[in-house]
Structure 1
Amino acid sequence: MESDSAMGAFPLLTTPIESNYRACTIPYRFPSDNPRKATPTEIAWIDLFRNSIPSFKKRAESDTTVVDAPTKAEKFAQRYADILDDIKKDPESHGGPPDCILLCRLREQVLRELGFRDIFKKVKDEENTKAISLFPEVVCLNDDIEDGGKRLENLVRGIFAGNIFDLGSAQLAEVFSRDGMSFLASCQNLVPRPWVIDDFDTFKAKWNKKSWKKAIIFVDNSGADVILGILPFARELLKCGTQVVLAANDLPSINDVTYPELIEIISKLKDESGKLIGVDTSNLLIANSGNDLPVIDLTRVSQELAYLASDADLVILEGMGRGIETNLYAQFKCDSLKIGMVKHPEVAQFLGGRLYDCVFKYNEVLG
């Protein structure tokens, strides 16, 4: 993580005084709740993080970069479970009261203290290789759709389908390890519209005007998510004349793509003339967001990203962590899109939707 002195607020975020910016979307507790007693919502989310421990332990055990990984993986599982038990007994222990940012941060701290830096590296590399091989086919299928509105909807469906590759969800991690996932089949099997939040038609109307000069996209997972979901969408924005900045994590967290990994991915996808299947990439930039979690607090981003974002007129937060569990209600000085799939029952219940429902929340800033 970058030093605090190198971090600052995202410049397009409406100032906290005006917007009462609160990174976490779901309120775990209210001022009237007993500070010494965990609320039902806190307990539900602590249990959700506890349920993810076995899949994290399994990944840690097989991390060949760490000496005596199985023993240290067992220590991680026990230590993080103990922390969660402490928070259940006293919500203010360990820097609480808890929210999704704190619960993620504590998990990463335990892993890093034990020497684990990137326990999902192997599966990320495997999925990136698969997705890179499929990239030309996915792009050509999109390009073959002549109707602009239908092509945009197909690109959006690709983002949702790619976003299924999320090993932070205990249920999806189990499915993935057992069966793998097919990107094109996932595109076909999305829940039908209308989605739980569905502003697609409003977004399409603005898209057709080709009025965005610069877009910042906070990317999420490795593999199909960024390569088959976000990059075809970003490529379409480039074709419309929009400059695109992809903001990726500084440090590894779950299977999220990192800044160095994204640079490597795009270098592999470009042809010898530097194009993405016929599209010039001189307007495509990669930025280090400064973040090290699968969720993000926009009051703390890198100076590099803050500089690049200062003149953007579209902000996209992709994925459940960045766009739903945090920042769903964040207000910006420019147009914004929060897009992701609902992969936790607790989130579906909060939104009044279904598990694996889709969120497409678009806010247009008029004038």
Structure 2
Amino acid sequence: MSHQPVLNPKGASINDNGAAETRDILFPHQLDDLSQIAIDIGGSLAKVVWFTRASDEYGGRMNFEKFETQNIHELIEFLEKVIESTGIPKSKITLKATGGGAVKYHDRLQQQLGVTVDREDEMESLITGLNYLVRQVPNEVFTYDERRDAIPLLYEEPPKELFPYLLVNIGSGVSILKVTSFETYERISGTSLGGGTLWGLLSLLTNAKSFDEMLEMSKDGDNKNVDMLVGDIYGGDYPKIGLKATTIASSFGKVFKAPPEERKTKFKEQDISRSLLYLVSNNIGQIAYLNAQAHGIQRIYFSGFFIRGHPVTMNTLNYAIHFWSKGKIKALFLRHEGYLGAFGAFLRSDKPKRKLSFTENFSLAQKIGGLSMSAVGKLDVLPTHSVFPLLKNKSEYTPDSIDLSDAKLQYYWIDLLDANLKDLVQLVLKWQGHTENASSRAAGFESIFKDHLQRLRKEPNAYGTLSIRSLLNLREQCLREMGFNDIFDGVKKAENQIALAQYSSFIATADAFPERERIAHLTDNVLAGNMYDWGAQSVQDLLRSGDFAFQAAKQKVLHPAKLDDLKKLTDRLLDASKGPYKKAVIFVDNSGADIVLGIIPFARYLLLKGTSVVLAANTRPSINDVTSFELDSLIAIIAETDPVIEKAVKTQKLKVVGTGSASPCLDLRYMSEDLTLECDDVDFVVIEGMGRAIHTNFYAKFSVDSLKIGVFKNPQVAEDLGASMYDGMRVFEQA
């Protein structure tokens, strides 16, 4: 095997703005050009996974594409373009190949492309791909059941114990693998009746020219015109053995009854397509269940381009598993179902294996097929992420505070973001209008985000479980995809300068208070500072006017007793028997008054008490949230005039750490390694802001003392969580 640069997974994330049929993966710290491309050439389809460098400091992206295997020349032409675009000498490029075509076309690929072609075992690649995606990609696994009328598609959390499981890979044929660890597996069964069977027979029986066209045709079909049902035999249900009248007794059982001369005209292509799809899917589902039963396995994953997110296919497989297991086992589907092999082959080339973290970028997401119930974006590779170690119960943690499963709430948030879209475009042009092609890029952002909102109105779970967090993240991704990486850069700088000019007087005022009143004053300032939030529509008009004074913001914040634990917090901070906290981590929110006049003075108070402080800020820009890079600069400026801050920085009692996030919300399942390493001796967690402490983490519990502080600035969220507009929240909980 030829030597090649290895993948640097630090900072890996999934790019939600990708245009391919699966989510691309970004590798932000990939400094070397990665000279590998992976392909999985099956009997029907060839899938490609390749890495591209990003145009900015955020590394790279995993890209995905597919071709019909019979058009191998198109695949080779495409690979030639990808290889040429890398700018790397062909002698240094390795093409990782798996699937049957890796053997069949090995010499042709090597000769025509002029690169080294390394073969990877097909089954090992499938398993590697699945193991990574199930554990690392949010909303990768889902179930589909049309008996759940309102929400047929539901996403699964990663299992506590992944092994053992059954992988049913449906390509041209079907392979069934029993997987018992990351490295051990066994092909225990299979069938020749797979995707190739359906494709081949429908090619004979219909005029459809592609697999997608065949699946599209089945949507309008009615199988009872072709299949013999239980009701056709018994005149109704057969309850004694649990068969409904609609159960298929004999696939294509009605065809032989038609006169030979009528068979070509009596049966519609749509009905034939539906019947044959049921035949193949039911057969695969039953074989899968029988193998799971024989081996005592409760988890069955289905993969392969046969499925393609097609509702009838998934529902049939699910029905078969549910029927034969009497509801004890679920059929599990994957977003990247068709790319497991190619993705696994790509990952297997990075040895020793490294842990990758991914985020999914849906900004240019596409469906695998026209009827797919879910869409897939690109995968952006981030720094290695891990669960925040101070969560009380990591396995039960969910970040989102508001359940958007109700259709009315879904429409409310989708409509709200749609209604605010023109205002946001105006803000983009105001602060970024001087940049190249700003007008056309802003129009592009408006168009693609509006299209996404339209799709989500029809299919709310197309990109995963719909939440306020996912909608806000999608908006940020669309902005970045159109080149607007930091639309609030100008306003953040201006607001920081205004706040910095007031910092010394704010500190002098705070220091003059007796200590108990000082804590109240400082936390009141944190709440007032949190009003300076460009992500809140309710205060944008105030901020646009430019004369929203800090004192006015302070007077606007209310203090309902049910949300205010100021006394509990104060008592703990002044409790001599317990002493000061050893170390605090503060998740910060907005630039300007929020961070400079609210959070930093509060952090300074903790420092004076003897507490070390870690300020955790976004790694990448999101609305007007302060980033870790910007916060480092602010701290350096403040340290020039504030000896307390200067000393804390020099002694490393005060640190700024990036969370690894680029979101206005906070998902504690995906925190940077730098932050998690800082948490070994933390005994106080502070989460500030509407997006971080209210939209998300309102119900989060920690293994140490915690303070959630922020202002309610959306009426729906306030009502849902038992608050009112502009209520301030100081929720203090002791471990």
* TM-score, reference length from structure 2: 0.46
Please state how far the C-alpha of 1:259 moved relative to its aligned partner. 0.6
Equivalent position of 2:724 in the other structure: 354
Correspondence for 2:560 among 178, 182, 194: 194
Q: Say whether the 8 Å CA contact 1:198–1:359 is kept in structure 2.
A: yes
Please state how far the C-alpha of 1:183 moved relative to its aligned partner. 1.3
Q: Say whether the 8 Å CA contact 1:51–1:170 is kept in structure 2.
A: no
SS of residue in 2 equivalent to 1:12: coil
Moved more, 117-126 or 167-176: 167-176
Amino acid at match of 2:572: K
SS of residue in 2 equivalent to 1:141: helix
Please state how far the C-alpha of 1:92 moved relative to its aligned partner. 2.0
Correspondence for 1:122 among 471, 486, 490: 490
CA distance in 1, matches of 2:614, 2:442: 36
Unaligned runs of 5+ in 1: 30-37
Same amino acid, percent of matched pairs? 36
Q: Say whether the 8 Å CA contact 1:9–1:299 is kept in structure 2.
A: yes
Correspondence for 1:15 among 390, 393, 408: 393
CA distance in 2, matches of 1:263, 1:195: 36
Q: Say whether the 8 Å CA contact 1:166–1:255 is kept in structure 2.
A: yes
Superposed CA deviations along residues 315-367 of structure 1, whole A, max 9, x for unmatched, are: 000000111110111111101111000011111111222111111111101xx
Please state how far the C-alpha of 1:200 moved relative to its aligned partner. 1.4
Please state how far the C-alpha of 1:65 moved relative to its aligned partner. 6.2
Moved more, 338-347 or 58-67: 58-67
Q: Say whether the 8 Å CA contact 2:620–2:627 is kept in structure 1.
A: yes
Higher strand proportion (structure 1 or 2): 2
CA distance in 2, matches of 1:15, 1:65: 48
* TM-score, reference length from structure 1: 0.91
Amino acid at match of 2:731: K
Equivalent position of 2:635 in the other structure: 266
Amino acid at match of 2:384: A
1 or 2 for the larger relative contact order (CA 8 Å, sep ≥6)? 1
Q: Say whether the 8 Å CA contact 1:254–1:294 is kept in structure 2.
A: yes
Alpha carbons of 1:2 and 1:334: their partners in 2 closer, same or farther (altered >3 Å)? same
The answer to whether 1:284 aligns with 2:654 is: yes
CA RMSD, aligned part only? 1.8
Q: Say whether the 8 Å CA contact 2:613–2:654 is kept in structure 1.
A: yes
Correspondence for 1:2 among 11, 22, 33: 11
Alpha carbons of 1:42 and 1:133: their partners in 2 closer, same or farther (altered >3 Å)? same
Equivalent position of 2:694 in the other structure: 324
Superposed CA deviations along residues 156-184 of structure 1, whole A, max 9, x for unmatched, are: 10000000110011221122112432113
Alpha carbons of 1:57 and 1:27: their partners in 2 closer, same or farther (altered >3 Å)? same
Equivalent position of 1:57 in the other structure: 425
Superposed CA deviations along residues 109-135 of structure 1, whole A, max 9, x for unmatched, are: 111111111000000000000000000
Number of matched pairs? 351
Amino acid at match of 1:237: L
CA distance in 1, matches of 2:547, 2:480: 28
Structure with max Cα Rg: 2
SS of residue in 2 equivalent to 1:309: coil
Equivalent position of 2:669 in the other structure: 299
CA distance in 2, matches of 1:206, 1:71: 55
Aligned runs of 1:1-367 on 2, under 5 Å? 2-3=11-12, 4=357, 6-17=384-395, 20-29=396-405, 39-62=407-430, 63-64=432-433, 66-93=435-462, 95-145=463-513, 147-191=514-558, 193-209=559-575, 210-271=579-640, 275-276=643-644, 280-281=648-649, 282=651, 283-365=653-735
CA distance in 2, matches of 1:120, 1:258: 12
CA distance in 2, matches of 1:65, 1:244: 39
Please state how far the C-alpha of 1:284 moved relative to its aligned partner. 0.7
SS of residue in 2 equivalent to 1:286: strand
Q: Say whether the 8 Å CA contact 2:469–2:695 is kept in structure 1.
A: no
Amino acid at match of 1:333: S
Please state how far the C-alpha of 1:14 moved relative to its aligned partner. 2.1
Q: Say whether the 8 Å CA contact 1:215–1:312 is kept in structure 2.
A: yes
Superposed CA deviations along residues 140-162 of structure 1, whole A, max 9, x for unmatched, are: 110111x2111100001000000
CA distance in 2, matches of 1:277, 1:216: 16
Q: Say whether the 8 Å CA contact 1:195–1:359 is kept in structure 2.
A: no
Amino acid at match of 1:194: P
CA distance in 1, matches of 2:399, 2:494: 32
CA distance in 2, matches of 1:247, 1:39: 35
Q: Say whether the 8 Å CA contact 2:556–2:726 is kept in structure 1.
A: no
Q: Say whether the 8 Å CA contact 2:560–2:727 is kept in structure 1.
A: no
CA distance in 2, matches of 1:188, 1:277: 29
Q: Say whether the 8 Å CA contact 1:235–1:279 is kept in structure 2.
A: no
Q: Say whether the 8 Å CA contact 2:608–2:644 is kept in structure 1.
A: no
Please state how far the C-alpha of 1:78 moved relative to its aligned partner. 2.2
Amino acid at match of 2:663: L
SS of residue in 2 equivalent to 1:82: helix
Alpha carbons of 1:121 and 1:50: their partners in 2 closer, same or farther (altered >3 Å)? same
Q: Say whether the 8 Å CA contact 1:8–1:301 is kept in structure 2.
A: yes
Please state how far the C-alpha of 1:226 moved relative to its aligned partner. 0.4
SS of residue in 2 equivalent to 1:359: strand
Q: Which 4+ stretches in 1 moved above 3 angstroms?
A: 276-281
Alpha carbons of 1:280 and 1:52: their partners in 2 closer, same or farther (altered >3 Å)? same
